[in-house]
Amino acid sequence: MAERLYLYPVWLRLWHIVNALMFLVLIATGISMQYSNPDAPLIRFDLAVRFHNIAGVIVSINYLIFIAGNLATGNGRHYRIMFEGYFKRVLQQMDYYLRGHFKGEKAPFPVTADRKFNPLQQGTYVGAMYLLLPLIIITGLALLFPETIANRIGNFSGIYLTALLHASVGFLLSLFMVIHIYFSTMGATPSSNFKGMATGWHEPH
Amino acid sequence: MTKYVAWLTVLLLFQINLLTAQLTVDMDGEPAGMADNQTCFDCHGKKIYSYENPVTGRIERKAMNPNFVFNPSAFYSGVHRHFRCTDCHSPDYETFPHKAELRLEPIYGCLDCHGGDPTYAHFHFDEIGSEFEKSVHFERQSDRFACWSCHDPHSYKAMTRSGFRITEIVQYHNNMCASCHDNPDRFQTVSDSLKLPLDRIHAFLPNFKLHFNAVRCIECHTAVEDTMWVAHNIVPKELAVKKCVECHSSNSLLMSSLYKYQNIESRKSRGTLNAIILNEAYVIGANRNIYLNIISIVLFGMTLLGVFIHIIFRIKKP
């Protein structure tokens, strides 16, 4: 049996848990505001606004910690995609998830100290962390200071377009979170990846 | 016979047209009283006016009382643009120096001209009058408060049912309220109480400035009447809307007040979808796009279904 790997240092685990908790707050308060209903409020509107703003600011600061940590510790190398043959590797990984896994085949890209993410994870994590998260932070900060948004962009209200982008990216990140949590159950045991994120030690298959 | 029927039809249509005609002000043509009014604006259109003193023969320059300075361009872009000053004010004002007792002349209210007249029926002046008499302004200051306390007849514009942008309508209406409620000197012409600044009174609102620029004070401070375009029953502050969801929900009260006219018009010309998408404002909880909602529910459902199927296969894995 392969040895356990120490993949998640303390700073990364702290960043991850803060991000996860704040995301849950953002999703709950965001849905509550977007679909606010006077007869059946999920969270009282003014409280939802306040908690959404606070959680958004914490996620934004936390994102800076993520970037700084990646630069300082070398964790960022896991997010660097080698484009040569990348698409083929993604298809291999998808084939494993959709077919090979059920037939007891070995994972094509097992976790090592140098390869924390498989190609599919790498692509989605890069998309989530380096495209969607900056977008939602920028649009969120703009909505927090709406005087910075152009009044009109073409035929549309600037705030409306910013809010539409913010909500759409929020929705995509929520989908990412659902899939992320589900695939986290595909470790050595359904709970081993969750334990790994708590202790720092990755349990190999 | 056919000829008579045709003439009768034309006559009938003409009569119907006369009965249903709505008064509209010609906003493009030259104002009817422009030449006559110029004599008044020569002094009252400026902060500093001059005249020849008949005793000394000297040209005197004086500062005009700011309450009696009127902007000619604002007057000529208002609804009373075709009026002569002396249509409402005494013709004795044509003599200078004005007689002292002219200051005591009674001032017309809106209903003196517009009340009970079918020509103005679509403006609902009589209803506005009775709503105003229920308002806190009338209740507390009936002897000092009149239509002109808010609506300056020298520059009044009909903003609500017009092509003005929502932001322009909001600014125009809110300036009326702020001219007293954010101006302690003017506020004290009707009340002895000192008011706190508006932003402190409304500190409970997240981003007061954004709200103040995006919605009118009357959205929260009036009792909305379905039959009226602009509610005039200003309620006491204790009864003002304070629950966010009154506006921030699919059944937003803004739809029956601020956006009422724009929504009806845009639906006529662009259809419901575009009316929502092209809406000028964004009110979280109220702006919901049904197509984006469906797409998001379908995508979320497909994700959960995919996860569910994957779990089934994992359970059945040998």
By the CB < 8 Å criterion, does A160 face chain B? yes
Closest by Cβ to A33, choosing from B204, B282, B284: B284
Q: What type of residue sits at position B206?
A: P
Summarize the confidence of residues B259-277 as an average pLDDT: 56
Q: How confident is the model at residue A2 (pLDDT cuts 50, 70, 90)?
A: low
Contact B245 A178 (CB under 8 A): no
Summarize the confidence of residues B142-164 as an average pLDDT: 83
Q: How confident is the model at residue B177 (pLDDT cuts 50, 70, 90)?
A: very high
Summarize the confidence of residues B40-62 as an average pLDDT: 92
Q: What type of residue sits at position B242?
A: K
Residues in chain A: 205
Residue A42 predicted with pLDDT over 70: yes
Q: List pLDDT tens digits, range A126-166.
A: 999 999 999 999 999 999 988 888 877 877 778 888 998 99
Q: Which residue of A has its CA nearest to B211?
A: A146
Measure the CA–CA gap between B106 and B101, rounded to whole angstroms: 11
Measure the CA–CA gap between B121 and B116, rounded to whole angstroms: 8
Lowest-pLDDT choice from B56-65, B218-227, B278-287: B278-287
Q: How confident is the model at residue B4 (pLDDT cuts 50, 70, 90)?
A: low
What ipTM describes this predicted complex?
0.88
The Cα-based distances of A81 to A66, A89, A161 in angstroms read 18, 11, 31
Closest by Cβ to A102, choosing from B204, B250, B317: B317
What is the three-state SS of chain B?
Answer: CHHHHHHHHHHHHHHHHHHHCCCCCCCCCCCCCHHHHHHHHHHHCCCEEEEECCCCCCEEEEECCHHHCCCHHHHHCCCCCCCCHHHHCCHHHHCCCCCHHHHHCCCCCHHHHHCCCHHHHHHCHHHHHHHHHHCHHHHHHCCCCCHHHHCCCCCCCCCCCCCCCHHHHHHHHHHHHHHHHCCHHHHCCCCCCCCCCHHHHCCCCCCHHHHHHHCCHHHHHECCCCCCCCCCCECCHHHCCCCHHHCCCCCCHHHHCCCHHHHHHHHHHHHHHHHHHCCCCCCCCCCCCHHHHHHHHHHHHHHHHHHHHHHHHHHHCC
Closest by Cβ to B280, choosing from A45, A102, A157: A157
CB atoms under 10 Å from CB of A147, counted, come to 10
Contact B35, B119 (CB under 8 A): no
- What percentage of chain B has pLDDT greater than the value 90? 28
Residue B23's pLDDT is what? 58
CATH of the domain at A161: 1.20.950.20
Q: Copy the structure tokens of residue A159.
A: 């705030």
Measure the CA–CA gap between A140 and A58, rounded to whole angstroms: 12
Contact B272, B236 (CB under 8 A): no
Residue B291's pLDDT is what? 83
Contact A81, A122 (CB under 8 A): yes
Q: Token match 């960043």: residue?
A: A15
Residue A177's pLDDT is what? 96
Q: Copy the structure tokens of residue B213.
A: 């620029």
Q: List pLDDT tens digits, range B91-149.
A: 999 998 899 999 888 888 888 888 888 888 888 888 888 889 999 999 988 888 888 88
Residue B19's pLDDT is what? 42
Domain count, chain A: 1
Lowest-pLDDT choice from A82-86, B66-70, B256-260: B256-260
Closest by Cβ to A175, choosing from B285, B299, B317: B299
Q: Which residues of B touch A159 (CB under 8 A)?
A: 281-282
Q: Copy the structure tokens of residue A49.
A: 């606004």
Mutate to test the interface with A, among B212, B242, B245 (most CBs of A within 10 A): B245
Q: Copy the structure tokens of residue B275.
A: 């009316």
Residue A94 predicted with pLDDT over 70: yes
Chain A to chain B Cβ contacts (< 8 Å): 83
Residue of A44 and B277 predicted with greater confidence? A44
Residue A32's pLDDT is what? 92
Main-chain dihedrals φ then ψ at residue A149, nearest 5 degrees: -90, 140
Summarize the confidence of residues A46-72 as an average pLDDT: 95
Q: Residue A162 sits in which domain range?
A: 5-202
Residue B24's pLDDT is what? 73
Q: Which residue of B has its CA nearest to A183?
A: B307
Contact B195, B152 (CB under 8 A): no
Of chain A residues 162-191, which have a CB less than 8 A from chain B?
163-164, 168, 171, 174-175, 178-179, 182
Distance from CA of A69 to the nearest CA of B (A): 32
Measure the CA–CA gap between A204 and A186, rounded to whole angstroms: 11
